[in-house]
Structures are given as structure tokens and as C-alpha cells.
Amino acid sequence: MKSYSSPNTNKKEFNVNKNDLIASVASSAGLSKSDATRAIESFLDAVTNSLKRDEKVSIVGFGNFSVSHRKATTGRNPRTGESIQIPASKRPKFTVGKALKDAVNN
């Protein structure tokens, strides 16, 4: 985990990257790092493939992964003022579950 001091507070912030997560899972589950890597990669692939098929992934207590659909709109180029078409798109979305929210707040 890498820590740094936030410029707006005296509180240290910690960032956990994928390698940190793999090391934590390996340690807490008694797995080798290669087994933990395969488990994390499999989880991420399963969530990604489900979202590609426009399916919702629900993990009770943790949260829901879903796809949000954005309609096509007309925008404006701020430099030229010209109207441009912004195509429709899909965006991955995560909604936090109650147990995770409670755990973070306590």
C-alpha cells in the first residue's frame, strides 16, 4: 500500500492497487500469490463479461455492478461553438451495498 498526505487535510490516504489486493487475498486466504492472482483475475473477468452481456452482478452486502445507458446528445465544441453529436454509450456503474456502507462508516 502506498500512502501520501492529502493536501487538504492532515489525514494520510492509502491507495491499494491490484498487486496489493492480490497480496492481501493471498495472505488472508492462505493462498499462493499465483493462486490469488488467478482468483482475482477470474473475478474481474466474470464481472466484465457479465457487464458486456448487459447483466447485473449483485454481491449481497458488498454492492451491485450494472451498466448505465447514456442517450445520444448534441453538444457544443467550446473552442469553435460548433454543434457536435455525442454518440450513445454504455458505462459501468457500481452501487454500494448496505453492509459495505455500514462497515466504512463505523
At residue 60, the pLDDT reads 96
User: Do 89 and 59 share a structural domain?
Assistant: yes
The answer to whether residues 84 and 92 touch, using CB atoms and an 8 Å cutoff, is: no
User: Do 99 and 80 share a structural domain?
Assistant: yes
Mean pLDDT of the chain: 91
Is pLDDT of 70 > 80? yes
Per-residue pLDDT of 6-57, as tens digits, reads: 455 556 678 999 999 999 999 999 999 999 999 999 999 999 999 999 999 9
User: Do 49 and 68 share a structural domain?
Assistant: no
If one counts the domains in the chain, the total is 2
Q: What mean pLDDT do residues 67-85 have?
A: 95
Give the C-alpha separation, 29 to 27, whole Å. Answer: 6
- The residues near 86 (Cβ < 8 Å, ≥ 6 apart) are 72, 73, 74, 75
pTM: predicted TM-score of the whole model, two decimal places: 0.75
Q: Taking the chain, what is the end-to-end CA distance rounded to the nearest angstrom?
A: 22
At residue 13, the pLDDT reads 74
Give the C-alpha separation, 74 to 53, whole Å. Answer: 27
